Structure 1
């Protein structure tokens, strides 16, 4: 691995039109590899607030990270299982943090641990933790009174109960809930103005303003 490889990731992020359509001052990309299965994602930060960070260059960054791992000088059994790259906007360099074993498992993202990962990632900048917005609360499985409320997406790629991608416009961050409560399949129907119909999203991928 060379620093040039890591800096290439920073270069891709700074040039990414999808990322730069939104506000950001720091970005964290992380990848987790378990028995050949690769998962990766990213967060953008505005001050101490975190948001999903979808990009057009996601696949290219994943390729670079896998190449860095596979071409490393460590013995095969010591290859890292997770790695994080931090980038500050306006800075042409990135910083790579590799993780092994139990430390790596903490970077396997699920719908339940995104806030924890965002906080852990932000701390790599050496500036403490993130502000967790207290005006949004994750939707509960037994919650009612959701119909007509605006909900924030907690993931960059929302899915239905079967794991299929929700049919929402690109870069959607907020939706309107059509159902009053989660269905037995643990989903709710949501839409955004201008959509033709509804799409299903798992309840635990949504948050609503606190009552």
Structure 2
């Protein structure tokens, strides 16, 4: 299986689980759990009735877990809080604190955030990669082209074409031609221009260092 296929499948799974976990039905269950837990915390209601309500909610959640594995995390969170409430009602543990309730609520938010982040990462991986385009100023493009292509263009000229561009066959022409093995070439063309600037007598002569 290719990665793109895997990503698409994983993303579909994530979306499906999110839709189920945060559906109106599941939110209603969480509200019921919070309602019972609040009553236990505040010591309101008949303990037998509270224990019966907790038991019914727990049985219902266990059935949901068996019938739909996608809701395992959500159900386990609710069952954990219901178990804590039952122990408080029966005196097996101390009363439920506000911190415990806030933790229960924050876990739901964290699960929501984690699922969204996971989906975002999968979507990002699945996006087609766009090649990065670097803008080069027009003048620079021309210079780069000349540098890359100029020499090969010059060397592709025939000797007759080069001679026509070089002009008269003067002393510089003969001196430069005798110096360069590759003729014609971009280097020879440049040397010819330089020679005619300084003169044939001066071109190519290394200046003697003064003692």
- Coarse TM-score class (shorter-chain normalised): under 0.3
- In proportion to residue count, which structure has more strand? 1
TM-score, length of structure 1 as denominator length? 0.22
TM-score, length of structure 2 as denominator length? 0.22
Higher Cα Rg, which structure? 2
